[in-house]
């Protein structure tokens, strides 16, 4: 019989199952779920029963498992808290850049904008908080995908395709894959009028660790924001680095 070393280990394993299901974007049989979570089958089954009893996981008639409805209010609350926590950082970014700053996350394989701080210019860009867009044509979306594993990215691209929003949108799979590799190398992404003509955006990842749980960006008219602006990118990375360290810091 598999031993649960401690209650903390059980919590860690249960959270691992939730993360695997979230990354899969769909439903998994218990055998595949256990394999992906690197857990013994018996342990996986017991944890699933506990999570199902609280509504965090559901089992469909075909015996596949999926995330449950009890997670929805937790997700909404977490999004609100994340947006509130990030607001001072967004305000700082808007102040130093003069442009509108945004916070976005990946949710259900789409980019969701959670927060925003307006720039100082009369003519400035606004992205409605709560707006959902496909990730491939936005700077924040490229950042969020660039720090996903290849299987996850391929699944998202297969689900939605790479539809053109402007003549500049990247619609070729190989070209897009190369773009994500460059984003990882450079540590930032650019939306060069790919989501909306006349609008350019730059985004950087927010950690903690080697993952990107969120992205921050600035958006501006293309005539005012250059594609190549290394000093601004360094400033954005510095602010995002402080955000990452704040997220990673243990609560007091």
Give the orientation angle of helix 173-186 with respect to helix 139-146, to 10 degrees. Answer: 80
Residues of the chain with CATH 1.10.10.10: 7-67
Contact 91, 7 (CB under 8 A): no
CA-CA distance, 218 to 216, in Å (whole number)?
7
CATH node for 7-67:
1.10.10.10
Pick the CATH number of 73-248 from 1.20.1280.50, 3.80.10.10, 3.10.180.10, 3.30.450.40: 3.30.450.40
Mean pLDDT of 213-238: 93
Contact 160, 134 (CB under 8 A): yes
Mean pLDDT of 85-103: 94
Which pLDDT value is given to residue 250? 58
Which pLDDT value is given to residue 66? 86
CA-CA distance, 14 to 186, in Å (whole number)?
35
Paired tokens of 222: 């293309």
Residue 202 confidence (pLDDT) above 60: yes
Residues of the chain with CATH 3.30.450.40: 73-248
Contact 110, 135 (CB under 8 A): yes
Tens digits of residue pLDDT in 106-156: 888 899 999 999 988 776 666 778 889 999 999 999 999 999 888 889 989
Q: 208: which residues sit within 8 A by CB, 6+ positions away?
A: 244, 245, 247, 248
Which pLDDT value is given to residue 252? 45
pLDDT confidence band for 5 (50 / 70 / 90): very low
Tens digits of residue pLDDT in 18-56: 888 877 767 889 999 999 899 999 999 899 999 989 888
**Other beta carbons within 10 Å of 62:** 7
Which pLDDT value is given to residue 3? 47
CA-CA distance, 220 to 229, in Å (whole number)?
13
Residue 6 confidence (pLDDT) above 80: no
């Amino acid at each position: 019989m598999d031993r649960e070393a401690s209650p903390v280990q059980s919590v860690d394993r249960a959270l691992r199952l939730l993360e695997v299901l979230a990354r899969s974007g769909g439903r998994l049989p218990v055998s595949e779920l256990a394999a992906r979570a690197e857990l013994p089958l018996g342990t996986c089954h017991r944890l699933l029963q506990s999570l199902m009893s609280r509504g965090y996981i559901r089992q469909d008639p075909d015996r596949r498992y999926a995330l449950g409805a009890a997670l929805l209010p937790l997700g909404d609350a977490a999004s609100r808290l994340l947006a509130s926590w990030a607001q001072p950082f967004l305000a700082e970014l808007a102040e130093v850049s003069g442009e509108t700053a945004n916070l976005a996350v990946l949710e259900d394989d789409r980019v969701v904008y959670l927060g925003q701080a307006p720039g100082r210019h009369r003519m400035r860009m606004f992205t409605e908080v709560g707006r959902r867009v496909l990730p491939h044509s936005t700077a924040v979306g490229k950042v969020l995908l660039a720090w996903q594993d290849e299987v996850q990215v391929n699944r998202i691209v297969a689900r939605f395709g790479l539809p053109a929003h402007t003549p500049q949108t990247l619609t070729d799979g190989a070209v897009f894959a190369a773009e994500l590799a460059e984003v990882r190398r450079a540590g930032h992404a650019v939306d060069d009028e790919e989501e909306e003509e006349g609008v350019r955006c730059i985004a950087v990842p927010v950690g903690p660790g080697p993952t990107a749980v969120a992205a921050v960006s600035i958006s501006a008219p293309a005539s005012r924001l250059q594609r190549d602006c290394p000093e601004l990118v360094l400033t954005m990375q510095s602010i995002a680095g402080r955000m990452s360290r704040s997220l990673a810091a243990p609560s007091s």
